[in-house]
Amino acid sequence: MSILIVALCVFLLILLISWGKINPFLAFLIISILAGVLLRIPIGEISQAIETGIGSMLGSLAVIVCLGAMFGKVISDSGAAKKITEVLTQTFGQKNLPWAFMLTGFIVGIPLFYNVGFVLLVPLVFSAVYQYKLPAVCVGIPLLAALSVTHGFLPPHPSPTALVSIFNANLSLTLVYGLIVAIPCMVLAGPLFAKTLKRIQSKPLEVFIPKTAPNQQLPSGFNSFFTALLPVILLSTTAALPLLTQDNTTAHEVFVFLADPMMVMLISLIVATYSLGTKQGVAVKTIMEGYGSAVKDIAMILLIVAGAGALKQIFIASGVSNEIASLLASSDMNPLLLGFFMATLIRISLGSATVAGLTTAGIIAPIIATTNANPNLMVLAIGSGSLMCSHVNDSGFWMFKEYFNLSLKDTFKSWTLMETIVGVVGIGMVLLIDFVLQTPT
């Protein structure tokens, strides 16, 4: 009976968001209360469970996401993203522009949230398209495939970062696995898939073409690349340092402190504030105003994450999580595949990759312990499912259609198929890594 109540609550959540057009945060709160009542949690404890869920979720996540938003803001406002695009375009040449824009999307997509990266970089694609007379979709798809990959797989993006917290995974190790998964995903769904789209006619609207800015206003290429990649560099290097200093207690504690994701993002932001801000002559007040704007932009994302935490806690407090864990543990299906298919179903129903990932995580979290599933790979498996089959209920679908001025049919043939390739290749790579890790050496 409890399992049926969970299924009903998820179904009602989908209805509220997709059909009722209710804000996802409010929908999560409403369903959390309803689930608490139906699962017979004492009425006086429902509010406490919701508050506990919100607090535990945001406690480990809010700082990282907010610092990440500020970091992405300075990368965008300083012109570092534009400089990276210029350097890669000049390096790869006209023939290999799809590869250049794929790398641009990957590098810039790590610090920038998806919508920001889309709005910032797609106009740069159009500039190249008009300059070299190239098919817009063939050049744009590799960029957007890379942006999708970073959005679904790599911290500090909200969904993978939240899933790391829910599953008690290792953020640095998840990032390393995510990078391994990301490369074939963006190559196959990007430049290689784009070669099949040459017949799609697209005439991007001229309003989206950026005005050219003098190059002297941009930071140097090295500064742009180094600063944008700094969180990845720090997370990768600091993850190994504590293991190398276990015999030295003081050094070990220092490196454990520096390896904390919050410290990594804070150090990266401080460096970026200087190298892309004050060093370039930008006033501190102006930089801080930009940071304030960045936090406002991601406030709703944080609330959605908080709402998912509330629903997860209701399932835990009611004991239904243990029932789900017992039921799924007896299933023959690989738990990574189970997470993938569940996220895919919710993604198709809701459209939002973030909501799909978080909703799935709240339901499937209990099976991590009972099945010994790798929590780092579970983050990536659910991330793969959350990117599948984007269609008319996804804002990204419409942004791509309108920016590239395409028909619905061509949007399905390009955008939807690209996202699906990312998801399928993603789960394939996750299962391959899982097989390698379980194979005796």
Give the pLDDT score at 238. Answer: 66
Q: What is the dihedral of CA 430, 432, 433, 439, to 10 degrees?
A: 140
Q: What is the dihedral of CA 29, 64, 352, 296, to 10 degrees?
A: 80
285-307: burial string, b at 16+ Cβ within 10 Å, e else: eebeebbeebbeebeebbbbbbb
CA proximity to 378, closest of 440, 421, 328: 328
User: Measured at the alpha carbon of residue 188, what is the angle toward residues 432 and 82, in degrees to the nearest 5?
Assistant: 120
Residue ranges of alpha helices (H) inside 209-260 are 221-244, 249-259
Separation CA 60–CA 199 (nearest Å):
47
Each of the 441 residues of the chain gets a pLDDT tens digit; together they read: 677 888 888 889 888 887 888 888 898 899 999 999 998 899 889 999 999 988 877 876 788 878 888 887 888 788 887 888 788 888 888 788 899 999 988 988 887 777 777 877 787 788 778 777 888 899 999 999 999 999 899 887 888 988 998 898 988 889 999 999 999 999 999 999 999 998 888 877 665 555 555 555 788 889 988 988 888 788 777 666 655 665 666 776 777 777 777 888 899 899 999 999 999 889 999 999 989 988 887 788 788 878 878 887 888 788 776 676 666 656 678 899 999 998 998 888 777 788 888 888 888 887 787 788 899 999 999 999 999 998 877 778 888 888 888 888 999 999 999 999 999 999 999 999 999 998 775
Give the pLDDT score at 182. Answer: 95
Q: Using a cut of 0.95, tell me whether the model's pTM lies above it.
A: no
User: Measured at the alpha carbon of residue 323, what is the angle toward residues 321 and 352, in degrees to the nearest 5?
Assistant: 45
Distances (CA, A) of 197 to 135, 137, 403: 9, 7, 17
- At residue 366, what are phi and psi to the nearest 5 degrees? -60, -25
Separation CA 434–CA 439 (nearest Å):
9
What token pair was written down for 302?
Answer: 């944080």
In this structure, the chain runs to a length of 441
Which residues contact residue 207 at a Cβ distance below 8 angstroms, ignoring those fewer than 6 apart? Answer: none
